[in-house]
Amino acid sequence: MIKDRKDYLRRVDEAADYIRAQLGEFGIPEVLVVLGSGLGPLADFCERFKAISYKDIPNFPVSTAPGHEGLLIAGTLSGSKVFMMKGRFHYYEGYEMEEVTFYVRVMGRLGVKTILLTNAAGGIDDKTEPPYFVAIEDHLSFGCESVLRGPNIDEFGTRFPDQCFVYDKEYLDILTDCARDLNIPLRRGIYAYSKGPQYETPAEIRALKLLGASCVGMSTVPEAIAASHMGMKVVCFSCVTNMAAGLSGNKLTEEEVLINAGKASSESCDLAKEFISRITTDKGE
């Protein structure tokens, strides 16, 4: 939990100043894409202006999760300036919520307007074989510690932020249009946040199903709350990589998650690319 709001803000601004100085005349992109499992190859489509290792950014945490490289890329994707985060920070790794969301705050202070969050998730539907995609229209996280707990940083946003519009409705429609035009099946649904690192129990999944969740995962919600607190537009899609606990009769493994994220990777990248090209006004020259 943030204890010293002035010190936290100073550390966020120090990181932001470093990134701004590194980007020089390139400027600050309006959009950040957070590359979840399977979306890593999107970074290869990006014409890089600069790739900054997390360990060089003052006060930035360093990711410990396997397969999560720590790189902030600034470049051009389909003619639009973007930031990409290759590697994110999960609560289950041992980071505090203010560390999990540190990068979001830095992006907000830099003036980034939109954040596209992607992730792998377990599907709470026992009829559809993974992989498939869910565009997130809302989330469940009331059993979890809030990222906004502690003294409010007024420079970020208000003490009691509304949560009815965390996921931008207009951008959700644009994402839906992109999927339709690319012939990629995309349903809408509710993402349930689970702190992990253990997968859920079958009883937890039955409970989440009763509550209306479509999928479950161990990331995204803290970042979505922190970004919308700062007034950023949030858009998110999950790649469902496995049936959630108890639905398939099989044990859950990370291997299944990675294999299915890999199978869906090219469609994930196409969807993200198309979405970015439709929303960016900040075209490179």
Tell whether residue 194 is a contact of ligand HPA (CB under 6 A): yes
Contact 33, 234 (CB under 8 A): no
To ligand HPA, the closest distance from the beta carbon of 51 in angstroms equals: 26
Distance CA 237, CA 118 (A): 5
- Taking CB under 6 A as the criterion, the residue among 117, 121, 225, 272 binding ligand HPA is 121
**In whole angstroms, how close is the CB of 71 to ligand HPA at the nearest point?**
22
Report the distance separating Cα 83 and Cα 129, nearest Å. 32
Check residue 260 for interaction with ligand HPA (CB under 6 A): no
Q: What are phi and psi of 12, to 5 degrees?
A: -65, -45
Q: Among 42, 186, 257, 279, which residue interacts with ligand HPA (rule: CB under 6 A)?
A: 257
Q: Which amino acid is at 207?
A: A
Examine residue 244 and tell whether it contacts ligand HPA (CB under 6 A).
yes
131 sits near ligand HPA (criterion: CB under 6 A): no
Which CB, 121 or 148, lies closer to ligand HPA? 121
Query: H-type helices in the chain, by residue range?
Result: 5-23, 97-100, 102-110, 169-182, 202-210, 221-229, 254-263, 265-279
Q: Which of 40, 70, 122, 157 binds ligand HPA (CB under 6 A)?
A: 122
The closest of 85, 115, 108 to 236, measured between CA atoms, is: 115
Distance CA 234, CA 59 (A): 24
Instruction: Give the interface size with ligand HPA as a residue count (CB under 6 A).
Output: 14
* Interaction of residue 220 with ligand HPA, rule CB under 6 A: no
**136 is a contact residue toward ligand HPA (CB under 6 A):** no
List interacting residues with ligand HPA (CB under 6 A): 120-122, 194, 199-200, 216-218, 241-242, 244, 252, 257
